[in-house]
Structure 1
Amino acid sequence: MPELPEVQGYKTYIDSTSLHQRITEVDCRDTKLLKKPKADFDAYLYNQELIETQRIGKYLFLKTTGKKILVMHFGMTGRPHYYKNEEDRPKFGHLELSFENGFHFAFENKRKFGWWDLIDSIADFKASHKLSDDARDLTLEDFKQSFNGRKTDIKKIIMDQSVAAGVGNWMADEILYQSKIHPTKKVIEMTDTDIKSVFDAMKKVIEVAIENHAHYKDFPKTFLMHFRKEGATCYHTGAQIEKIKVGGRTTYFSPQWQEL
């Protein structure tokens, strides 16, 4: 699933290709991917332009010259695709915007878990979906405060979008590996030093992933992503990586490096 770094890359891609162009058509091959009636997308996007993007976690908001903001969530396999000729429309480009300059923007969505919506306010959307500030922008103080009263496992907490919007499964594993914190360590047992270690690791993982365009093979050799599978060898200890379930999510960790 596209997580924060991937969606940041999509934001950069859209910024460089699809802004400030008049929309001449909205095409939809499957209306189940729209949170509002197709007629609403026609009414609010036709003849308008995309003028600015904003990302919060895994959500991408596209401000327009009209009254509505277009929201994109990329689901499991979604991604943007900008192209000139209609015959180049990708097979799974179920949603498409056409522009006055003759180019098109397709929302590829093979497994159809992604979607589009139209909203009036990003702030209201953020509140109704209980999103924290984006994990990239989050302050240490706000991060610490979100731990108050929590007693569950640290991995569950950092994957909670009200705590760190944008952190998904692989990122959580990497953050805890970098901070040497066991994924099932209870938040109530964590010191301020532990919490800061997780926070710093989160910021590090986000920036490394964005800098490398979420291409895992280009991550530093000390990153778990290079050996994130059961039975693989931990870079630091030489011990085997283990796999468990935490909050229903498959979790990889190094038991000697991340001692409980």
Structure 2
Amino acid sequence: MPELPEVQGYKVYIDSTSLHKKIMGFECRDARLLKKPKADFEQHLLKQELTETLRIGKYLFLKTTGDKILVIHFGMTGRPNYYKDEEDRPKFGHIVLTFENGFHFAFENKRKFGWWNLIDSIEDYKSEHKLSDDARDLSLEDFKASLSSRKTHIKKVIMDQSVAAGVGNWMADDILYQAKIHPKKKVQDMTVKAIEQVFDAMKNVIEVAIAHDAHYSDFPKHFLIHFRKEGATCFHTGGKIEKIKLGGRSTYFSPELQQL
């Protein structure tokens, strides 16, 4: 599933290809991918331009010259594709904008878990969906405040989108690995120093992932992503990586490094 680093890459891609071009066509092969009627998208996007993008977690907001803001969620397999010739349309490009310059913006969505929506206010949307500030922009003070009333294990908390929007499963595992914190550690039992270690690790994992365009193979060798499987060898201790289930999610950690 595209997570924060991948969606950041999509943001950069769209910024460099699809802004400030008049939209002359809108096509959707499957109305289930739209959170509003197709007619609403035609009304609010045709003859308008995409002017600016803003990413909050895994959500991408595209401001327009019209009255509405386009929201894209990429689901499991969503991605943008900017192309010119019709024969280059991607097989799973189920939603396509056509620009005045003859180029097209396709939303590839093979498994159809991604979707588009139209909204009036980003701040209202954040509030309605209980989204924190993007994890990349989150302040230490706000992070600490979000954790102050939590009474569950740290992994579940940092994956809560109201705490750190954009942190997904593999990221949470690597954050806790870098911070040397056991994923089952209860937040109320953590010291201020431990919370700060998690925050610093979160910022580092995000920036490394973005700097490497989410190409996991290029991450530093000490990142858990390289040996994130049961029985693999921990980079730091030489011990075995263990797998448990937390909140229904597969969780990987190094028991020797991340002691409970």
Does TM, normalized by the shorter one, top 0.5?
yes
Task: Give the match for residue 140 of structure 2.
Answer: 140
| Same amino acid, percent of matched pairs | 77
- AA of the residue aligned to 2:51: I
Structure-1-length-normalised TM-score: 0.99
Task: Give the match for residue 258 of structure 1.
Answer: 258
- AA of the residue aligned to 2:142: D
**Aligned partners of 1:35, 1:86: CA distance in 2, in Å?**
26
SS at 2:184 equivalent: coil
**Aligned partners of 2:64, 2:100: CA distance in 1, in Å?**
15
CA RMSD of aligned residues (A): 0.4
- AA of the residue aligned to 1:4: L
Task: Give the match for residue 18 of structure 1.
Answer: 18
String of CA shifts for 1:13-41, please: whole Å, max 9, x gaps.
Answer: 00000000000011000000000000000
SS at 2:243 equivalent: strand
String of CA shifts for 1:225-252, please: whole Å, max 9, x gaps.
Answer: 0000111100000011111001110001
**Aligned partners of 1:39, 1:71: CA distance in 2, in Å?**
16
Aligned residues between the structures = 260
Task: Give the match for residue 165 of structure 1.
Answer: 165
Task: Give the match for residue 103 of structure 2.
Answer: 103
Task: Give the match for residue 84 of structure 1.
Answer: 84
Task: Give the match for residue 224 of structure 1.
Answer: 224
String of CA shifts for 1:162-190, please: whole Å, max 9, x gaps.
Answer: 00000000000000000000000000100
String of CA shifts for 1:89-148, please: whole Å, max 9, x gaps.
Answer: 111110010001010000001111000000000000000000000000000000000012
**Aligned partners of 2:106, 2:230: CA distance in 1, in Å?**
37
Task: Give the match for residue 63 of structure 2.
Answer: 63
Is 1:175–2:167 an aligned residue pair? Answer: no
Residue 149 (structure 1) shift? 1.8
**Aligned partners of 2:175, 2:23: CA distance in 1, in Å?**
40
Residue 58 (structure 1) shift? 0.4
**Aligned partners of 2:65, 2:101: CA distance in 1, in Å?**
17
**Aligned partners of 2:155, 2:67: CA distance in 1, in Å?**
39
**Aligned partners of 1:93, 1:173: CA distance in 2, in Å?**
32
SS at 2:75 equivalent: coil
- AA of the residue aligned to 1:92: F
SS at 2:175 equivalent: helix
Task: Give the match for residue 195 of structure 1.
Answer: 195
- AA of the residue aligned to 2:127: A
Please show how residues 42-57 of structure 1 align to structure 2 within 5 Å: 42-57=42-57
Residue 87 (structure 1) shift? 1.1
Is there any run of 5+ residues in structure 1 with no aligned partner, and where? none
Task: Give the match for residue 152 of structure 1.
Answer: 152
**Aligned partners of 1:182, 1:110: CA distance in 2, in Å?**
36
SS at 1:206 equivalent: helix
Task: Give the match for residue 210 of structure 1.
Answer: 210
**Aligned partners of 1:80, 1:254: CA distance in 2, in Å?**
36
**Aligned partners of 2:208, 2:147: CA distance in 1, in Å?**
25
String of CA shifts for 1:59-96, please: whole Å, max 9, x gaps.
Answer: 00000000000000000110000000111111111001
SS at 2:225 equivalent: helix
Please show how residues 118-137 of structure 1 align to structure 2 within 5 Å: 118-137=118-137
Residue 150 (structure 1) shift? 1.0
Is 1:31–2:27 an aligned residue pair? Answer: no
The list of structure 1 runs, each at least 4 consecutive aligned residues, that deviate by more than 4 angstroms after superposition, is none
**Aligned partners of 1:188, 1:100: CA distance in 2, in Å?**
56
SS at 1:146 equivalent: helix
